Structure 1
């Protein structure tokens, strides 16, 4: 084995020839240096961390940092969920307004007599254009600014809805004419069993106020609208059972209760004499009949003054 020694003297490098005994000593010396260095490092680590390589205080500090990060993540998640719920509520309100506008728009289109598919409210409108900026880069991309924009859109939709309702009323006046006038009976057969006003209640016999007129007819008999208008309610109401309400403008509404079946839906335009339901005995009823009411701005009127003409 040859060792080369490099010195800073003029003699330069020197070479030493080691025999087998010298090589063994050199190897043992190298191992001793490595072992000494390792033992010294271990002693230093023990002095710095007497309870181990990582002290309990260090572990505790790390745990506290992890707990703080978990709390921050939970807080961020909760705030995000609240913002998402707020956005969902705004979107639901917009969807409801859009549905109402669609219904009114279809009726106005029908009244105006537009042909083809100039205004097809049940189909998505055609849209296009170059690809826009990602949402993150767009102005108003923060959730709060987005909610403000949704609120502004909701206000605009409400305004447009009121305008369409006025237009619809004007068109109904123009196209319906005398059909908007309430007259006649809601059924073509049968008889009146109870009039508007005070009566003896059929269930407990006490004197009560009857808000409409009852027309007895066989179950399944056609129930007809007594004037043209728009269906404003079609469903179940307490006491009335299956009921249909038709709005006729100027705050006038006719109501038809206890039906066995409804054949119209909310938003539908109905003509005078059109079948809207079938006679039944649903709700608070003793036998098949139609409970018929007339209201103006929520106040009950005596339907008798509208019964003169069955046609």
Structure 2
């Protein structure tokens, strides 16, 4: 037992000697040599010409790329500047165009105001939108501002143009209506074709800038239409198309064959009878000159008025005559009073329209007058 135990246990000093290994000083020295070698190797690597060239080329590539980007940015900035300059030039050009449009608009508006006043005098109404000048500021203006302002100017120019066109069309329509109605009555109307009929002078070469502006031409055309309408309307006053009586009345007898109130037989009636109270005012049916004031057989007290186009009107069975021979009367001038003189069964106005010695149906004239009044 003792022998086996002694064999299994080694002496303490011998075990410590075997575990001692590499000396620490030797270890640190070898580590320092290795580190220094590595440092020298890295330094040599970096300093090698080919490697240095490769590393420098990479930096140059980065720098070149950066400079290219800067160059691109400069080009973009220059392009933006150029575009801004171009826009500034466009803005100035557009502002000049706006200024010209504004001048045309103001000229157009002034002409329209004159034409509207003239049309209003002739009974033609026109609605013209306000077209006061729009101030345009050169500061802080954008293309959208210019576009909106230009659209507004164009819209107002269109409105004033439509106003002028509306006046001209209304005047022409009424002129044609008057001419058509009076033509059916056998009355010719002298309507000038142009406002300035007299033209002439020596031939001379055209001068630069001497052309009449389109706005002025349009205004002249409108004025021409108004002049034509005025001439037609003035001629209307010469035709007996206006009622010769007003107030409370009724038509008691028409034009043509009828039963005679005294004999009961068929007889021709040469006018219209309007039953009304004695003393009711009687008016001239058109402009003219009083050619007769007196008594006629069967008519009683009579007033006769001569008009243009060979027409004459006769007002009979009167209780009183207010006009005198040779008097110039206008449409609506009181010339007599209703009565029952002559061959009459009661107070009424006997109204005749004649061309020469031939009686015409007054109702045709008065109906035309109603249509014209509605149109005018």
Output the TM-score relative to the length of structure 1. 0.43
Output the TM-score relative to the length of structure 2. 0.36
Report which of the two has the higher share of strand.
1
Report which of the two has the higher share of helix.
2
